[in-house]
Chain A
Amino acid sequence: MKRTHGDWLLDSFACFFLAAVSLMMLLPILNVFSKAVSEEWAIVSGKVGIFPVGFQLDTLREVVTSSTFGHAFLLSVGITVIGTALSILFTAVTAYPLSKRFLPAISFVMVLFIFTMLFSGGLIPNYLLMRQLHLINNLWVLILPGLIGVFNLLVIKNYYESLPEALEESARIDGAKTYTILFRIILPLSMPVIATIALFYAVGYWNDYFGPMIYINDTAKQTLQLYLQSVVMEANTATALNKSAEDMMNMSPEGIRSATVIASTVPILIVYPFLQKYFIKGVLIGSVKG
């Protein structure tokens, strides 16, 4: 097809616009990355733009090897791994009976779940309940209240419903019990959707700030996001790193803050390209839910 004047204009505009949007997304990340690895004098004099001025990894090394960062990082990894595993197990198992709409009272249970998407007790009643359950400053509080996400539950339930019924029937004829069918047939067949949901849960646990901020006030149990917030906002970078002022001589607070932000972003940046296709699939499954 021949390109008209209008086509040429549209193509150039599209390229320009999308390049500008992409640049805007990258700019803050590039700038902070540059500050994390630039020489200290360049940061202090405000010379660092989107490219590093000089190159050093001392600040990053100092941040990553500090005991507070390492502790918070490992804590977040642990919560993310255990939380995701438990969430997947609970969600995938609960979704199975819910996908059997012919069962008496099942649609009522479904309504009970959906209602919690629309209405909740609110902050204080939740806090008081956790207090009563002795979960304040207990790391389980970061996992248990969000164990089943109703949206994820709906996604898995819809996926189960789309599986051919004949599969289950033939297994039943062969004498398989409900539990065997779920764990040996349904779950293995649902791996694509389970992978997607696992990624949603994992990002949720990793990025959670509100939960630890409310329920955890013991600094020994700080998660990475809490620690990061204290470094970013309170600017007490020297105490954050547990260093004396003398050790900090060749590091600016700005550089330390940048290095901390980058060190906490790297895990997501590393896994992101692999996860991309799953995430997009997940959004699409969610948006056509029936």
Chain B
Amino acid sequence: MNAEVQAITESGVGPISRKRARKRESRWRFAWRNRDYYVLLIPGLLFLFLFKYAPMYGIVIAFQDFNIFDGIRGSDWVGLQHFQKLLHSGEFAAVFTNTLLISIYKIVILFPIPIFIALILNEVRLMFFKRIVQTIVYLPHFLSWVIISGLFVTILSPSGGLVNNLIESLGGKSVNFFMSNEYFRSLVVFTAGWKEVGWNAIVFIAAIAGIEQEQYEAAAIDGAGRIRRMLHITLPGILPTIALMFILRLGSVLDAGTEQILTMYNPVVYKTGDVIGTYVYRVGLGKMDYSFSTAVGLFNSVVGFILVMSGNFISRKLLNRSIW
């Protein structure tokens, strides 16, 4: 824009505008000369437009009273009606609360654990023990949510499950965790931790490996013990990584674990376990209320987008590190 304005105002001067024109022309010729690269881009772009951008056009049904037989062109426009319904719906308020509660529990309880695992693992000198521990704690990450639900349905079973056997032998009453509104959120948080705490430690382990050894040697000469070195060198050394991961994590606060909850919940625990992602699924594909479901999804996407963008902005300002 600026260049063009400049070119117009200085049109009499000649050399500058000609130079710009030549540069622009050579830009296209340059691209043409390198057309092979653009040809290689075609399959990727086709994928991108067909499967990523085409669905974005479908978002317009959030502003319609969409009817699957009339299609997007034939359906009536209703403006913001679905969003008004969303804001006044007690059901959505409950779902939104569940999402935030589960997410916040997950962050508060599960975020520090990988950092702690990485710090402790760093203190282990026996290499084979270290390797065995790492192998075991990374494993759950590779199991699907369906398998994990299967594992926990079994050990938490009210009839002969390991945990309930223990509770009963201690004189307690057996609990049906998967059917209890009281325990369902804890179950979701615990299983999410079981799956990911080990895996999430990898980033911090790598950050610790990047700390200069001289710092430790200097501290040791000054008489600092291992615990003090851990608290005053290792921990501050990985602080930027911790901050970055924390900001990233906050960006996805509206995703309380849709796939996880879909494999674990049942109508009995909708009251405490239904989150935005599962609600969109239930309303959209279960009740066929396409327009309202899309409106909920759009609300979720927009808020999520703003959260991630602000997170990236903060990390760029504060840590000088951008997420992408």
Contact = CB atoms under 8 A, between A and B. Distances in A.
B77 to A, nearest CB: 16
A44 to B, nearest CB: 7
A278 to B, nearest CB: 12
A34 B54 CA distance: 49
Contacts of B44: 90, 93-94, 148
Interface stretch (B4-12, B30-38, B90-98, B99-107): B30-38
Interface string B19-33: 000000001101100
Contact of A100 (B37, B280, B304): B37
B301 interface: yes
Contact of A49 (B28, B61, B162): B162
B139 A254 contact: no
A28 interface: yes
A279 B161 CA distance: 33
Nearest to B260: A209
A233 B158 CA distance: 14
A6 B142 contact: no
A32 B40 contact: no
Interface residues of A, number: 99
Contact of A232 (B146, B194, B202, B308): B146
Contacts of A284: 202, 206
B294 A31 contact: no
A112 B49 CA distance: 9
Interface stretch (A58-66, A175-183, A189-197, A241-249): A175-183
Contacts of A233: 149, 153, 263, 266
A6 B227 contact: yes
A100 B36 CA distance: 12
A127 B59 CA distance: 12
B123 A10 contact: yes
A1 B229 CA distance: 15
A96 B42 CA distance: 12
Contacts of A19: 133
Contacts of B194: 24-25, 28
Interface in B173-214: 194, 197-198, 202-203, 206
Interface string A22-48: 101111110110010000000111101
Nearest to B58: A125
B200 to A, nearest CB: 10
A209 B129 contact: no
B258 A210 contact: yes
Interface residues on B, range: 35 or more
A207 interface: yes
A25 B61 contact: no
B154 A257 contact: yes
Interface string B280-322: 1100110000100110011011001100110000000000000
Nearest to B52: A116
A287 B162 contact: no
Contacts of B58: 121, 124-126, 128-129
Contacts of A213: 262
Contacts of B52: 116, 120-121
Contacts of B120: 13-14, 17-18
B144 A207 contact: yes
Interface string B38-49: 101101110110
A50 to B, nearest CB: 8
Given A28-B154, A179-B36, A279-B138, A123 B47 contact: no
B147 A254 contact: no
B273 interface: no
A127 B285 contact: yes
Given A28-B155, A124-B61, A265-B143, A104 B150 contact: no
Given A105-B31, A109-B45, A213-B262, A18 B135 contact: no
Contact of B297 (A32, A122, A129): A122
A91 B139 CA distance: 26
Given A182-B40, A233-B266, A15 B124 contact: yes
B202 A144 contact: no
A201 interface: no
Interface string B213-256: 00000001000011100000000000000000000000000000
A138 B125 CA distance: 53
B61 A14 contact: no
Contacts of B123: 10-11, 14
B284 A4 contact: no
A6 to B, nearest CB: 5
B86 interface: no
19 contacts: A14-B121, A21-B117, A21-B137, A50-B162, A104-B30, A117-B324, A124-B285, A125-B58, A125-B59, A127-B285, A128-B290, A203-B142, A208-B144, A213-B262, A229-B149, A229-B263, A231-B150, A232-B150, A268-B143
Interface of B: 27-28, 30-31, 34, 36-38, 40-41, 43-45, 47-48, 51-59, 61, 68, 117, 120-121, 123-125, 129, 132-133, 135-140, 142-147, 149-155, 157, 159-162, 165, 194, 197-198, 202-203, 206, 220, 225-227, 258-259, 262-263, 266, 280-281, 284-285, 290, 293-294, 297-298, 300-301, 304-305, 308-309, 324
Counting from the closest, the 7 A-B pairs by CB-CB distance are A125-B58, A121-B55, A46-B160, A94-B44, A122-B297, A207-B144, A178-B36
Given A178-B40, A210-B259, A276-B138, 8 more contacts: A13-B120, A14-B124, A25-B140, A44-B160, A94-B40, A119-B304, A129-B51, A228-B150
